[in-house]
Every structure is written in structure tokens, then in C-alpha cells.
Structure 1
Amino acid sequence: MATSNHSSVTDFILEGLTKCPDLQLPLFLLFLGIYVVTVVGNLGMILLIAISSQLHSPMYYFLSQLSFIDLSYSSVITPKMLVNFVSERNIISFPECMTQLYFFLFFFVIAEGYLLTAMAYDRYVAICSPLLYNVVMSHRVCSIMMAVVYSLGLFGATVHTSRISLLSFCGSHTVSHYFCDILPLLTLPCSSTHVNEILLFIIGGVNTLAPTLAILISYAFILASILHIRSTEGRSKAFGTCIHLMAVGIFFESITFMYFKPPSSNTTDQEKVSSVFYTTVILLNPLIYSLRNKDVKSALRRVVVGRQSS
């Protein structure tokens, strides 16, 4: 980071989710409950998949990675937000702000999108080429796919965060948000943000368009295969995997709404409402995927019964 460019900045003031004092405690309790459910649910999913041999398959490997990503970026944002609900001034230091931004971009904005793409490809192979599934989706292939997912997240987050850290913040230090997101930060510098906006458009466009097209193509083939399945049970099982498509649609719709417009066109209320949605509701994705999954329910039942009998 270029210290000389931001030497006048030691901290930022987060505007918070609301300025109404009467809502601080109810919102604190609400988001504390959501965070506890998120941590317990996602951590429980990771442990269940790790200890249950019947869940040692590519689909559940990716699901455990999704739980890890959701748990990680939730822990980057929510604890600071909870502290801000009960503190008089919502202050975050410059290094803390850049760290929060970095891991938010790394885990959520980029890595999760490509992970959802990998999960869509996994379902495509399972439904369209079931006889080749174990060969195509080998442990080595899955590991390489996850390495690519995290590498792309690392690259995008590093580019954006390093560019923002080079800006000169000599004006207002109040971030019109409850965490350090890229668009609210781009409204604060007194130096030009033109390069940052171009990078946001190019990198964000690629990281949204490429996964979206890959997922749509995968599910087009899946739908075509489903239509050739004659048994009602077979169709029901195949269509059950399409719940993934609903979560994907919610994810990319939120990303598109948030980041594909100039910072000057954002309104604080719209941005906060959208952010609350994609930083809380989407965190429950792994749980949603598992609600109708018989293998997960069976594995959980075995773990519970095993502990009771012991």
C-alpha cells in the first residue's frame, strides 16, 4: 500500500445500517441470531460432510467449500456490524477497512460465483453423463477446480484492494454503509477513481458474465436430459438439483444490481437493503441445498443416533 497517498487517513466512520436509536437493539438481536444460525449451520455442515463417509462425493465436497466461504465472509462483516449496533461511533481503521474489503471481495463477490459454477458443472456431469461421473469428477479434478476458484478470487480481490489503497482520501471519511464495500469507498477519494471504475467494470463483468453463461449452458443440458427421463422418480430427483439454479439466480441478480452501475447512481437505502439481503439470506445457501437431501438427513440421523447410543 502506498502510505504517502493515504497518510491523512487513519480511520473511517461507518454510517451503519440505520440512524434510528430505537432500532439498534432489535437489529442487534436479529443479526446476532442470523449470525449464530449461519455459524452453527455452516460449521455443522462442514463437520457432517467430513465425518460421514456416505457424503464423500464431489457434490458434498463443493457443498462443504460453499459452507466454508459463506462462514468466512459472514465472519468478516457481521461481528463488526454487531459491535457498531451497540457503540456510539462506528469507527474502523484504514487497515481494518482494507482487510474487510479484501476478504469480502475474495470470498463472496468472486470465489462464490465460480464455486456455484463448479457445482452446476458437477450436476451437469451427474445427470447428463452418469456413467462417466466418477472419472470426470475425480478427486484431482475437484481439487484443481477449487484451486482455480480461490486463485481467481485472490487475483480480483488483490487488484481492487490495492488500487483503492493507492487513492488519496482527503475529504469525508464517512462510509455510507455498514461495512467497507467497494462502491461506497469509491465515493470518498479526492483523487480520480476512473481507473478503479474501469477495473470494476472489466473484472466484475468477466466474473459475472463467465459464470452466468457457464451455469445457463449447464442447466440447459440438464433440462434437456430431464425431459428424456421417463420415470417420475427420476425426473423428481433431477429437478430437485435445480434448486441450485434458484440460489444462483439470487446471487448474480444481487451482484448485478450492486456493482454494474456508476457509484454516483447508488442510493444509500437501496445499497444497504441489497447488501443486507446478500450478506445474510444467501449465507443460508448450504442449508437450503440440504433441506430436501435424503443423504444429508440420513448422515445426520446416523451421527445423532451414534452419539446417543455411545
Structure 2
Amino acid sequence: VSSLSVFEKMPMETEYPNQTMVSHFVLEGLMYTAEHPSLFFLLFFLIYTITVIGNLVILITVRSDPHLRSPMYHFLGHLSFLDACFSTVTVPKVMAGLLTLDGKVISFEGCAIQLYCFHFLASTECFLYTVMAYDRYLAICQPLRYPVAMNRQMCAGLAGITWATGAMHSAIHTSLTFHLLYCGPYRIAYFFCDIPPVLKLACADTTINELVMLANIGIVAAGCLSLIIVSYVFIGTAVLRIRTAEGRRRAFSTCTAHLTVVLLYYMPPVCIYLQPRSGGAGAGAPAVFYTIVTPMLNPFIYTLRNKEVKRALRRLLCHSSRKPQAGSPPP
């Protein structure tokens, strides 16, 4: 008996009076990966390894280097931690599905947890980008007020608010999505549990859920993006008022990395959540970009565009290389 036949005979539904409730889902994965699963497994493993190591290196550098104590690097540490977790929510399950058929199976509770963690981290990152734009606005447009306005307590408070708001935002969507009855089919035409493809399997009218999703996510994303745009309008005006070309270059160089990651973060989700009924295997390409590729690129974007981070990385590497080996006498 083939593994596929055995898998299809697995009990996927639990009987209830007059209804059945799905106890497991099957993630169909990404298009075109089934033809060369080993190759794609190695590719995703490489991307995931680079993502985790890169973001952890940035996090360790920011936390350990005394020269990186400004609010911008405080928020960069939070961003690096978010990106490492963000990739961990989806990529290991994708790799498991490429290895075995059982790796595609996810329990009902596991699907709910994955959806919650994904939207928790994604919304927290959305709020964090807005806070980082506000930080750049104060630093460039109000430099005299900046040290007082963005003190250590304010930075910790803003970071805490982003995490708490992201948790609450995700809890609303997760409870609304999994409050519905799911009685089959159980195949999710996607590579992870997200709201649009999961709602397609509900045995109930999902119009209200889709409206709430579009309104809530739309308001949050549009609101954050609008605040970022307004911040950069003021920043651009302030930079143009700087008389020297070197001053303008230095002021704008602190913003280009943030602008780049904001564009990479916002563009793909707009393609997905503004068309909730189109969630499927074909919609996986933009999702792969912002869930898997962008978290890998962020450490390189901030490192290559920031001389202070590059110098801190060199100091960290030199310090590590100078540590005496085990069993060797101290210098």
C-alpha cells in the first residue's frame, strides 16, 4: 500500500450530531515544489539558516555593542528578533511537507496556533515599522527635542505597545476564524494556515469574517502606512533644508534602509488581503516573498546601508577571534 493511500485513510474528521468537525488539515504547499522536493528543501533550508543566523547576529551586535545605544538600534533589535520568529512560523513546516506526506498534515489546534503566531508577528512588525518612522522623524526634524522625547523609558514603552497591540490584533482574527465550523474539505490550498485559504473551507457564511478581515487589516495597514508616509514627507522637507550635500546625505542614509524594508513588507500583503477569495496555491508567490525572503534580506539591508552596524560587526568578530582557545594559556 502506498504512503498516499495510507494517508488518505487517516481519520481527518470527528463526528458531531448532524455535523462533522475537521480535526486535521492538509497543507498543499507551494506550486512547482512537488517536482523537485529535495532541491526546494535545500533552498528553503539555506534561506532559513541565513535568516535565523543573520537576524541573531544583528540582535547580538545591537545588544552587546555600547556604541549602538540609540533608539534606532533598540528598535532594530526588536525587528531582528521578530524576523527570526516570523520565518520560524512558516518555513520549518514547509520543509517538513517537502520531506514527507505526513509533514503536510497540521492539526486543527496547530493550524490555529500557526495563524495566531503569524498575524501576531506580522502585525507587531507593522506597528514597529511605524514606530521606527516616528523615531527617524524626531531625530531629523526635532533633533534638540529628540534625546528627551525618545529616552529609554519611552523606547521600552513604544516597543511594549507594539507587541501588546499585535497580540490583541491577532487574537481577534484567530478567534473569528476558528469560531466557525469546519466540516470538510480539509485541504488548504496554501503553504501555511492563513485567513483567506482557511475561510474557504468553513461550513458557514464567511462574509462577515471577510469584511472584518478587510476592515481590520486594511485600517491597521493603511493607518500605519499613512503615518509612515507623513513622517517621511516631513523628513524629506527637513533634509532638503540642510545646506550641505554631506549633511543631506548623512541624514537621508539613516532612512533608506527603513524605507526599503517598508516597501518589501507592504507590497506583497496588499496583493493577498485585498482579494481574500483568491487565496490559494497561486497566491503563494507574493506570500513567499514577505514571509520567507524579506526576513532574510532585512539584516543585509540594515548592515550594508549602515556604517555603524558594520563597524560594530567588525568589533564583534575581532573580539570573538581574540578569545583564547580552550586549554590555551591566556595572552
TM-score normalized with structure 1 length:
0.94
Aligned pair partner of 2:110 in 96, 110, 127: 96
User: Are the aligned partners of 2:33 and 2:40 in contact in 1 as well (CA < 8 Å)?
Assistant: no
Q: 1:222 to 1:22 in 2, by over 3 A?
A: same
Which structure is larger by alpha-carbon Rg, 1 or 2?
2
Match of 1:41 in 2: 54
Structure 1 unaligned regions, length at least 5: none
Q: Which amino acid aligns with 1:256?
A: V
RMSD: 1.8
For residues 229 and 86 of structure 1, the distance between their equivalents in structure 2, rounded to whole angstroms, comes to 56
Residue 7 of structure 1 and its aligned partner are, at CA, apart by 6.2
User: Are the aligned partners of 1:48 and 1:300 in contact in 2 as well (CA < 8 Å)?
Assistant: yes
Q: 1:4 to 1:123 in 2, by over 3 A?
A: farther
**2:290 matched to 1:278?**
yes
For residues 21 and 281 of structure 1, the distance between their equivalents in structure 2, rounded to whole angstroms, comes to 20
Structure 2 unaligned regions, length at least 5: 1-14, 324-331
Cα deviation digits, residues 8-30 of structure 1 (max 9, x gap)? 21100000113554321111111
Match of 2:211 in 1: 198
Q: Which amino acid aligns with 1:295?
A: E
Q: 1:286 to 1:122 in 2, by over 3 A?
A: farther
Residue 309 of structure 1 and its aligned partner are, at CA, apart by 2.8
Match of 1:242 in 2: 256
Match of 1:257 in 2: 271
Residue 195 of structure 1 and its aligned partner are, at CA, apart by 2.2
For residues 51 and 114 of structure 1, the distance between their equivalents in structure 2, rounded to whole angstroms, comes to 25
Aligned pair partner of 2:201 in 188, 193, 196: 188
Match of 2:239 in 1: 226
Q: Which amino acid aligns with 1:273?
A: A
- The within-5 A match list for 1:58-207 is 58-89=71-102, 90-108=104-122, 110-207=123-220
For residues 162 and 262 of structure 1, the distance between their equivalents in structure 2, rounded to whole angstroms, comes to 18
User: Are the aligned partners of 1:43 and 1:68 in contact in 2 as well (CA < 8 Å)?
Assistant: yes
User: Are the aligned partners of 1:111 and 1:153 in contact in 2 as well (CA < 8 Å)?
Assistant: yes
Residue 226 of structure 1 and its aligned partner are, at CA, apart by 0.9
Q: 1:70 to 1:60 in 2, by over 3 A?
A: same
Match of 1:55 in 2: 68
User: Are the aligned partners of 2:120 and 2:169 in contact in 1 as well (CA < 8 Å)?
Assistant: yes
Q: SS of 1:144's equivalent?
A: helix
Residue 262 of structure 1 and its aligned partner are, at CA, apart by 3.5
User: Are the aligned partners of 2:191 and 2:281 in contact in 1 as well (CA < 8 Å)?
Assistant: no
Q: SS of 2:35's equivalent?
A: helix
Cα deviation digits, residues 33-73 of structure 1 (max 9, x gap)? 00000000001111111110111110001001001111112
Cα deviation digits, residues 101-134 of structure 1 (max 9, x gap)? 00000001x1111100011111111111112211
